[in-house]
Chain A
Amino acid sequence: MHIAEGFLPWYWCVFWYAIMIPFVYHGVRQIRKIRKEHPEMTPLMAVCGAFIFIMSSLHVPSVTGSSSHPTGNGLGAVFFGATVISAICVPILVFQALVLAHGGITTLGANDFSMGIVGPFFAVAAWKVARKYGASYGVAIFLAAFVGDWMTYVTAATELGLAFPVPTFATAWVKMMIIYSYTQIPISIAESFLTVIIFDYIMRTRADLLVTLKVIKPEDQYKYFPDEKPPKKTSG
């Protein structure tokens, strides 16, 4: 979804920057608030950031005949909220633009909008809907990761379709959707399975952090270690 440098007209660059800035501002404030109130969350935040950093560096061949890379934005979005991910994605995208010539500084707003805002928001929505309808944590985090990744690419396709509506917006959008979204489906599935494994690992090691973040119910933190569940206090 990294739209390359110079591939959006300047007015679209300004537009996407204008949308990105309030989200990133809110995200930075959220990060400060979380770290102030719960300093023990810093390692979990680092894990989520590192996960995005790794995922977005991997060029994965797709069954559909092209290659692309996962985004890793669903995990952190479910834990900390979408705006936090919009802030975390900025240094990652800047690093990739300056060091790897991948993405761009002029297109940073558009790339952050797709990977750091729309993808994470849909991931959180997918998680909430899945949990509301009784899905297990595994299924819910799978859906969140899948939707977060895939919507990132749908948004990138839409951004390019809007910026370059040749011959028409519909034609350009369909073409971009085929290039981006179709390729991304198998990669999103692979990323989602990996996200389930990482989520499972965190559940086994620091489920208490997920309780604090209200990601899981307090009674579920002993799911993997039922022997360690504290006995219920009896009155008298």
Chain B
Amino acid sequence: MGLWNKRNILFALIICGLVAYPLLFNPSSVSGLGSDDAGPAYMLAHGYHPWVTYLWTPPNSDIESGLFAMQACIGGAILGFFCGIFHVQGRIRRQEEKEHKKVDKWTEENI
């Protein structure tokens, strides 16, 4: 039974469904304000004035999207690298345990 068993495939499909549904049937969820922007927008509408602003902001939304993608890529590279290490370590560990069992069995039978 591997990682991609029926249960995990079902979970992956649910994740895809939860992300895809608003993209397909509720486009305002993408084009409208995100919750991070809606909170400040509510405050601005009720007379709040920020007392400090960002030192630097991305010049346009394309660059902003690119920077977010870069962040995801950096995180993905780190995650993938260490998951790869885990995968190899897990295989080596299981192989070693098999070898030990063989030696134990041989010892039991012959000594």
CB-nearest residue of chain A to B63: A100
Distance between Cα atoms of A161 and B69 in the complex (Å): 31
Residue A30 is within 8 A (CB to CB) of chain B in the complex: no
Looking at chain B's contact residues, the main secondary structure is: helix
> What string of 1s and 0s marks CB contacts (under 8 Å) between B65-100 and chain A?
001110110111011001101110110011001101
User: Is the beta-carbon distance between A57 and B29 smaller than 8 angstroms?
Assistant: no
Please pick, from A53, A65, A228, the residue contacting B94 in the complex, using a CB distance under 8 A. Answer: A228
Residue A68 is within 8 A (CB to CB) of chain B in the complex: yes
Counting residue pairs across A and B whose Cβ atoms lie within 8 Å, the total is 190
Distance between Cα atoms of A43 and B83 in the complex (Å): 8
Please pick, from B28, B74, B85, the residue contacting A43 in the complex, using a CB distance under 8 A. Answer: B85
Looking at chain A's contact residues, the main secondary structure is: helix
User: Is the beta-carbon distance between B15 and A190 smaller than 8 angstroms?
Assistant: yes
CB-nearest residue of chain A to B37: A4
User: Is the beta-carbon distance between A206 and B89 smaller than 8 angstroms?
Assistant: yes
Distance between Cα atoms of A100 and B30 in the complex (Å): 19
Distance between Cα atoms of A170 and B111 in the complex (Å): 78
Residue A180 is within 8 A (CB to CB) of chain B in the complex: yes
Residue A101 is within 8 A (CB to CB) of chain B in the complex: yes
Residue B60 is within 8 A (CB to CB) of chain A in the complex: no
User: Is the beta-carbon distance between A61 and B75 smaller than 8 angstroms?
Assistant: no
**Contacts from A to B (Cβ < 8 Å):** 1-7, 9-10, 43-44, 46-47, 49-51, 53-54, 57-69, 95-102, 104, 106, 138, 153, 156-157, 160, 164, 166, 175-176, 179-180, 183-184, 186-187, 189-190, 193-194, 196-197, 200-202, 204-206, 208, 224-225, 228, 230-231
**Contacts from B to A (Cβ < 8 Å):** 1, 3, 7-8, 11-12, 14-15, 18-19, 21-23, 26, 28-30, 32-36, 38-40, 42-43, 46-48, 50-58, 64, 67-69, 71-72, 74-76, 78-79, 82-83, 85-87, 89-90, 93-94, 97-98, 100-101, 104
